[in-house]
């Protein structure tokens, strides 16, 4: 009896949420609602904050400057499990910042319908591992704003599970640019966290990179997170915004308090070099940066004896490593569409490329980068493109350190590549 009562309560809450959601969908700000003027880029300085606080600042600014913005997801009204939405419901009200049922299909479906009606929907999927139901199913919504569409909103919300890749990503294309879903931003934390196991540690960015019409963005730091998230929210295309949960509290830097945006699809060279190009995104940039610093020293550390043994057994020339390796490090930031020109220019200078990400190596986005650079820079490459990625296994709990693309694995690949 208790179970039946609980199920009835869940159903009642879901119907209540759906009814309220429908009213919000059609009573929000008009498509031409005024938006405050923003700046491209940001001035130096600011207050030192961590990454989740920077995300919170971006959401505050988005809600404050545009009445069409809505933020919703599981536990969002309470601040979220990572506290990224803390204080939003208190300041902007439960009509614009609200909780949803434990149903990723419904979250994504409602977000698509809300965005299709001219609003800016910021949907939070609590963990990227659970984005796959949202990947499979979404709202089947009309392309018009007629009373008939409003009358049948709930019917289509519940009865038409449609592939998200066939809806959000293709609205603009299949309507001949007459309608679009550009107001959609899906936020979700991804990647390892140290104790998440195979249900809270995955990196599914490559799945969405295969979908024309979507943009995929991953920040590496608090300053990047704020600027890129605001740019994603205001971009005229649907965006999947992955947030590295490992850095939510660990990454701290000065972030401007002002409203600013960082350009999408523009990679950044964060370390100049001449011997090899390293590419990554998100939390993996920290690993690559440490590898660059150790490679530049030239003198191997005691923990790297296994790498020296590798070089000796393969009779490789160690002179380059003893002199130090100058690594150029690039943060891709936007995976789709990615900045091929910046990467190509760097590889033509160094002649070597290494790509690293947490996701499994097979089918990872690093494979796309390797193939594209091989096509564009084949005659300038002095060694095969190296990939240092996660293993082709389910994400382990106890053996996470062995699964991860660690600094020593990156150093191993750098040495093998520069001495090829």
Q: Does the annotation mark 124 as catalytic?
A: no
| Per-residue confidence (pLDDT) for residue 37, from 0 to 100 | 44
Query: Average of pLDDT values for 120-149?
Result: 65
CATH of domain 12-27+38-261: 3.40.50.970
What is d(CA 411, CA 388) in angstroms, rounded to the nearest whole number?
10
Residue 320: CB atoms within 10 A of its CB come to 14
Tokens read off for 62: 């988005």
Least confident of 56-60, 166-170, 292-296, 343-347: 166-170
Question: Does 267 score more than 70 pLDDT?
Answer: yes
Q: Helix, strand, or coil here: 165?
A: helix
Q: Does the annotation mark 200 as catalytic?
A: yes
Beta bridge partners of 269: 330
Please report, for residues 44, 217, 352, the alpha-carbon distance to residue 328 in angstroms, rounded to integers and kept in the order given: 23, 21, 10
Least confident of 209-218, 259-268, 367-376: 209-218
What is d(CA 311, CA 321) in angstroms, rounded to the nearest whole number?
10
CATH of 268-418, one of 3.40.50.1970, 2.60.40.10, 3.30.70.2860, 3.40.50.920: 3.40.50.920
Query: Average of pLDDT values for 352-364?
Result: 98
Question: Does 404 score more than 50 pLDDT?
Answer: yes
Residue 379: CB atoms within 10 A of its CB come to 6
Please report, for residues 75, 83, 97, 290, 330, the alpha-carbon distance to residue 93 in angstroms, rounded to integers and kept in the order given: 15, 17, 6, 44, 40
What is d(CA 128, CA 137) in angstroms, rounded to the nearest whole number?
15
Please report, for residues 209, 245, 324, the alpha-carbon distance to residue 188 in angstroms, rounded to integers and kept in the order given: 15, 9, 39
Query: Average of pLDDT values for 51-73?
Result: 98
362 CB contacts (<8 Å, ≥6 apart)?
Answer: 392
User: Domain extents for the chain?
Assistant: 12-27+38-261, 268-418
User: What DSSP string describes 248-276?
Assistant: HHH-EEEE-SS-EE--TT--EEEE--SSE
Question: Does 42 score more than 70 pLDDT?
Answer: no
- HSE value, Cβ hemisphere, 13 Å, CA-based, for 160: 18
Tell me which residue of 11, 23, 206, 210 sits closest to 113, measured CA to CA. 23
348: buried, middle or exposed (CB in 10 Å: 19+, 13-18, 0-12)?
Answer: middle
Least confident of 63-67, 105-109, 204-208, 323-327: 105-109
The mean predicted confidence, pLDDT, of the chain is 82
Secondary structure letter of residue 220 according to DSSP? S
Read off the pLDDT band of 159 (50, 70, 90).
very low
Contact 85, 192 (CB under 8 A): no
Is there a shared CATH topology between the 12-27+38-261 domain and the 268-418 domain? yes
Tokens read off for 205: 């960015």
Question: Does 268 score more than 80 pLDDT?
Answer: yes
What is d(CA 18, CA 16) in angstroms, rounded to the nearest whole number?
5
Tokens read off for 139: 């709202």
How would you classify the pairing of strands 252-255 and 47-50? antiparallel
- Kindly name the residue from 104, 224, 243, 400 that is annotated as catalytic: 104
- Kindly name the residue from 200, 205, 328, 400 that is annotated as catalytic: 200
Note the pLDDT tens digit of each residue in 189-203. 999 988 888 889 999
What is d(CA 91, CA 122) in angstroms, rounded to the nearest whole number?
17
What is d(CA 383, CA 231) in angstroms, rounded to the nearest whole number?
37
Q: Helix, strand, or coil here: 33?
A: coil
Residue 3: CB atoms within 10 A of its CB come to 7
What is d(CA 188, CA 125) in angstroms, rounded to the nearest whole number?
5
Which has more pLDDT, 181 or 53? Answer: 53
How would you classify the pairing of strands 120-124 and 69-73? parallel
Secondary structure letter of residue 80 according to DSSP? -
């Amino acid at each position: 009896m208790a179970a039946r009562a609980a199920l009835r309560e869940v159903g009642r809450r879901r119907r209540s949420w759906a009814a309220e959601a429908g009213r919000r969908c059609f009573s929000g700000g008009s498509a031409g609602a005024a938006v405050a003027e923003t700046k491209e880029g940001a001035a130096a300085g600011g207050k030192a904050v961590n990454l989740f606080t920077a995300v919170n600042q971006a959401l505050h600014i988005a809600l404050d400057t545009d009445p069409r913005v809505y933020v919703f997801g599981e536990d969002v009204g309470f601040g979220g499990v990572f506290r990224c939405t803390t204080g939003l419901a208190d300041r902007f009200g439960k009509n614009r910042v609200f909780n949803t049922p434990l149903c990723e299909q419904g979250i994504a479906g409602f977000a698509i319908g809300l965005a299709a009606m001219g609003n800016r929907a910021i949907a939070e999927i609590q963990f990227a591992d659970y984005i796959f139901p949202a990947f499979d199913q979404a709202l089947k919504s009309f392309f018009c704003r007629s009373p008939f569409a409003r009358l049948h909103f709930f019917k289509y919300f519940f009865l038409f599970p449609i592939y998200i890749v066939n809806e959000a990503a293709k609205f603009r294309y299949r309507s001949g640019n007459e309608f679009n879903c550009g107001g959609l931003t899906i936020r979700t934390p991804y990647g390892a966290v140290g104790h998440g196991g195979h249900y809270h540690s995955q990196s599914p960015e490559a799945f969405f990179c295969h979908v024309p019409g979507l943009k995929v963005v991953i920040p590496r730091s608090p300053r990047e997170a704020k600027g890129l998230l605001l740019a994603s929210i205001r971009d005229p295309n649907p965006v999947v915004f992955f947030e590295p949960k490992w850095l939510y509290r660990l990454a701290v830097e000065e972030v401007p308090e002002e409203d600013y945006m960082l350009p999408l699809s523009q990679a950044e060279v964060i370390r100049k070099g001449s011997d090899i190009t390293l590419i990554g995104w998100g939390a993996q940039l920290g690993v690559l940066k440490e590898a660059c610093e150790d490679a530049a020293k030239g003198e191997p550390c005691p923990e790297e004896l296994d790498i020296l043994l590798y070089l000796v057994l393969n009779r490789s020339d160690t002179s380059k490593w003893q002199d130090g390796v100058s690594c150029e490090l690039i943060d891709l930031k936007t995976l789709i569409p990615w900045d091929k020109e910046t990467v190509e220019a760097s590889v033509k200078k160094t002649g070597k490329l290494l790509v690293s990400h947490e996701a499994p190596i097979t089918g990872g986005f690093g494979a796309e980068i390797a193939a594209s650079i091989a096509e564009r820079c084949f005659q300038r490459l002095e060694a095969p493109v190296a990939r240092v990625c996660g293993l082709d296994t389910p994400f382990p709990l106890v053996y996470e350190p062995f699964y991860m693309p660690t600094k020593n694995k990156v150093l191993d690949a750098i040495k093998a590549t520069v001495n090829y």
